[in-house]
Structure 1
């Protein structure tokens, strides 16, 4: 038979055990909840910091990309200008979407929508290469190329290269309606100064762009034959408009620039000193400066131009001895 003490211990011991278990269980639940809440707070804070940092970094990258594009268009892309821009920032990567336009006489026309990426994507989800053209061609000399907006891509012929064939679209300009505007690339027979070019072109024509001779013998001998070799080569290098460099004669609003060479010289001078940009700026600067450490207006040899206007004005270019080749670019209605 149990004593009174044993009965009391047995009675109170059974009641204390479940109470103590409940306390421990509540403590464990509280600890888990506290850990979850702290983890969520840390995740939220870190996510907020990452998003803010991502936005700030990509914003700086986007602005730098825009500046780089503007500088690039100052030395390349004949008669092409950057229009409205939209930034699309994501996680660790972004894109600039922009409209491109051209001037035919004093009329602006759209030249398609384009994208440029920036940032540091962790996963590359886009494959392939859109390139500059709608479709590829096997012979650049004979085939007409079109850009992604369906515009004819102009071609340029270097005066020191002897070609078997030259394109001269001035011969077919009469077939274009009188109510049309057009742009054309003109490749010269030799190099001229900027002032000489202004004097020899008909006044009725809009001068849009100057093609500057930025090539050395090695550049031309890689794919073409120079006159020094006294040979011709039907596969000699013909430059498409996306791969030539020069001076824009009109500003973003289509107004004539008084001293257009200053913008070109400033762009290549600044680019040649910046280690973060493409080496093309340095190559062009070295070719034009010839070791002088600076580029002046007299160093710019013009070997071609892009002009535009109505069909009657462009007809005045026919039978001009200084034109070796002429290729048609964009065509649009006058009104």
Structure 2
């Protein structure tokens, strides 16, 4: 073999070694890049989940705090959380108790983000409202509300200090019902009362389960408004979704004005989403004092349950300004 052939073989071997080394470098760099990418993705997903865990917990806590002072005779029965990338959904269902019988009442969905915000998706969340022939015949300028999920009646609440064009009184309808039927009903009072006074004046068989609290810092929406055409729009009663108060718990009926103040105080210091609403109510009740007292709690109405026969005892009671039926169920 001559020198030229030997040089050619050495060059070929060197080129092969270079190509092999280059392939190894490419494979090694690709493996490292893939490992780093997978590590970053895993770390990012783990971080995202941790942020969503915290965000969903905070969202559920804020909602539960608000439910503690709202939602007449409503309780959260279950919740479901679905996690995604950078955002997730929180769903929960509520129920009512009518003389110990649960009635599935509604469900709500919230969207939350990994950075802590949450809100309800766009949509119409108002209750179902239908014209009632009897109300229309009596000149009512509003419809009868019903629950959009189960078709049950929704309660209405009338402020004692407001003069309404009409007051809904559904106590006479009890006469046409099976006396054993279990009924929920909102009672709007003629003036303010305390828990002690309410318990004393309600007839036997009429069980208070939720107390409506005066949280009305702005009364402008409840004054008659004159329109440009000369017509007058009369104030509307409040739907159950708009009122605040406190009620008994499924495992205890020991309740007082202090329970509302405790829930309010906790919300002021711990709620994030609804902090301003908690603070508005807190400031309205305390006026110029450092903090509100139980004597500052003025009760405008009550939600009661009982049999249709038992609730008939409310007919003719002077403190009843309006009585609106809610959920009904067979024993």
TM-score (norm 2): 0.86
Structure 2 CA distance for aligned equivalents of residues 316 and 275 of structure 1:
41
Partner of 1:29: 23
Query: Once the 2 structures are TM-superposed, how far is the Cα of residue 141 of structure 1 from its aligned partner?
Result: 5.2
**3-state SS in 1 of match to 2:204:** coil
- After superposition, the Cα gap between the structure-2 partners of 1:24 and 1:74, relative to the gap in structure 1 and judged at 3 Å, is same
Partner of 1:207: 208
Query: Once the 2 structures are TM-superposed, how far is the Cα of residue 164 of structure 1 from its aligned partner?
Result: 0.8
**3-state SS in 1 of match to 2:43:** helix
**3-state SS in 1 of match to 2:108:** strand
Partner of 2:183: 182
- After superposition, the Cα gap between the structure-2 partners of 1:275 and 1:318, relative to the gap in structure 1 and judged at 3 Å, is closer
- After superposition, the Cα gap between the structure-2 partners of 1:97 and 1:275, relative to the gap in structure 1 and judged at 3 Å, is closer
The match for 1:284 among 256, 281, 295 is: 281
**3-state SS in 2 of match to 1:222:** helix
- After superposition, the Cα gap between the structure-2 partners of 1:135 and 1:191, relative to the gap in structure 1 and judged at 3 Å, is closer
Partner of 1:86: 80
Structure 2 CA distance for aligned equivalents of residues 17 and 141 of structure 1:
100
Partner of 2:5: 11
For the pair 1:66 / 2:65, whether they are aligned, the reply is no
Structure 1 CA distance for aligned equivalents of residues 74 and 271 of structure 2:
26
**3-state SS in 2 of match to 1:203:** coil
- After superposition, the Cα gap between the structure-2 partners of 1:92 and 1:263, relative to the gap in structure 1 and judged at 3 Å, is farther
Structure 1 CA distance for aligned equivalents of residues 130 and 291 of structure 2:
39
The match for 2:266 among 250, 270, 287 is: 270
- After superposition, the Cα gap between the structure-2 partners of 1:153 and 1:322, relative to the gap in structure 1 and judged at 3 Å, is same
Query: Once the 2 structures are TM-superposed, how far is the Cα of residue 134 of structure 1 from its aligned partner?
Result: 4.2
Structure 2 CA distance for aligned equivalents of residues 77 and 141 of structure 1:
25
C-alpha offsets along residues 56-107 of structure 1, whole Å, 9 cap, x if unaligned?
Answer: 2222222222221221111111000011223222222233322211111122
Partner of 2:257: 261
C-alpha offsets along residues 141-164 of structure 1, whole Å, 9 cap, x if unaligned?
Answer: 521222332232211111111011
Query: Once the 2 structures are TM-superposed, how far is the Cα of residue 136 of structure 1 from its aligned partner?
Result: 8.7
- After superposition, the Cα gap between the structure-2 partners of 1:129 and 1:22, relative to the gap in structure 1 and judged at 3 Å, is same
Q: Greater CA deviation, 318-327 or 64-73? A: 64-73
C-alpha offsets along residues 17-72 of structure 1, whole Å, 9 cap, x if unaligned?
Answer: 33222222222221221121111111221122222222222222222222212211
Query: Once the 2 structures are TM-superposed, how far is the Cα of residue 225 of structure 1 from its aligned partner?
Result: 3.9
Query: Once the 2 structures are TM-superposed, how far is the Cα of residue 131 of structure 1 from its aligned partner?
Result: 1.0
Q: Greater CA deviation, 165-174 or 58-67? A: 58-67
Structure 2 CA distance for aligned equivalents of residues 332 and 116 of structure 1:
29
Partner of 1:229: none
Count of equivalent residues: 315
Gaps of 5+ in 2: 226-230
**3-state SS in 1 of match to 2:246:** strand
**3-state SS in 2 of match to 1:236:** coil
For the pair 1:242 / 2:241, whether they are aligned, the reply is yes
Task: Give the root-mean-square deviation of aligned CA atoms.
Answer: 2.7
Structure 1 CA distance for aligned equivalents of residues 165 and 232 of structure 2:
6
Gaps of 5+ in 1: 1-6, 227-231
**3-state SS in 2 of match to 1:145:** strand
TM-score (norm 1): 0.85
Partner of 1:129: 123
Q: Greater CA deviation, 183-192 or 265-274? A: 265-274
C-alpha offsets along residues 91-140 of structure 1, whole Å, 9 cap, x if unaligned?
Answer: 2223332221111112222113332332248xx9x963141424699x99
